[in-house]
Amino acid sequence: MADYFKINNICAKYGDIQVLWDVNISVAKGEIIALVGSNGAGKTTTVRNAAGLMIPSSGSIEFDGANMTGKRSAEYAEAGIILVPEGRQLFPEMTVYENLELGAMTKAAKAKIGENVERVFNWFPILKERRKQLAGTLSGGEQQMVAFSRGMMSMPKVLIMDEPSLGLAPNIVDNIFAIAKDIAKEGGLTIILVEQDVRKALKIADRGYVLENGEIRLEGAADDLMHNDEVKKAYLGF
């Protein structure tokens, strides 16, 4: 049942300018959802609403039977909804370890920092080597590993990633996506993945949504979207 996490008919505005129109996205527990679309389509706006960083002008956000609409982002985090933002947004003057520590936002996560840092270091041994290095001096790929890991330090139930692949070498992206998929499939994590790399996103996703000009244009099984003529032409380059 795709009613674990629901973005229900949301509209969103910046001032007087409306940028989302009746966006509906329903996610089942443990599912990986790809949200794709061109620059300016409204992907970031959608996930900011989904993580409580913006309040939709109409519509609602529901999680595990609870209405989250209008709650503060800290309450979303406490409920288990975590956004790994576009552009990573690490604290560059703090070490890798300190950035990870700051990811443990909830009470439950704070009690398990040691355990969860070990889990992160198992996924990304390079971060263990670099734990005392300032985050701002890491390579782009390492920074994305930290951003993803910082999100995982909160022990999220729904992890929303906004364009994690941006500017990274394909093998690094594959590595991070493979780990995310393992966690989803073995640990029951639910993932919403915003991506411009539509091919990579649809490859790891169960289902996908295509956003165009603030509206959902297409949705379906990832395999079907991968073979959809419109998607192929607009996003896969043939």
Ligand X SMILES: Nc1ncnc2c1ncn2[C@@H]1O[C@H](COP(=O)(O)OP(=O)(O)OP(=O)(O)O)[C@@H](O)[C@H]1O
Which range, of 32-40, 89-97, 116-124, 131-139, touches ligand X by CB under 6 A? Answer: 32-40
Smallest Cα–Cα separation from 25: which of 54, 52, 59, 53?
59
> What count of residues does the chain have?
238
Alpha carbon of 94 to those of 107, 138, 173: distances in Å?
22, 11, 24
Residue 46 binds Mg ion (CB under 5 A)? no
Interaction pattern, residues 40-79, with ligand X; x per rule: CB under 6 A: xxxxxx----------------------------------
Which of the residues 174 through 233 are near ligand X (CB under 6 A)? 196
Please report which helix (H) or strand (E) contains residue 204, including its range: helix 198-204
Alpha helices in 18-162 (DSSP H): 43-50, 73-79, 96-103, 107-110, 113-123, 125-129, 140-152
Residue 144 binds Mg ion (CB under 5 A)? no
Among 8, 26, 44, 165, binds Mg ion (CB under 5 A): 44
Which range, of 42-50, 98-106, 152-160, 208-216, touches Mg ion by CB under 5 A? Answer: 42-50
What does the alpha-carbon distance between residue 208 and residue 220 come to, in Å, rounded to a whole number? 6
Q: Which is nearer to ligand X, 137 or 213 (CB)?
A: 213
Residue 37 binding: pick among ligand X, Mg ion, none (C-beta 5-8 Å cut-off by kind): ligand X
Interface contacts to ligand X, rule CB under 6 A = 14, 19, 37, 39-45, 86, 196
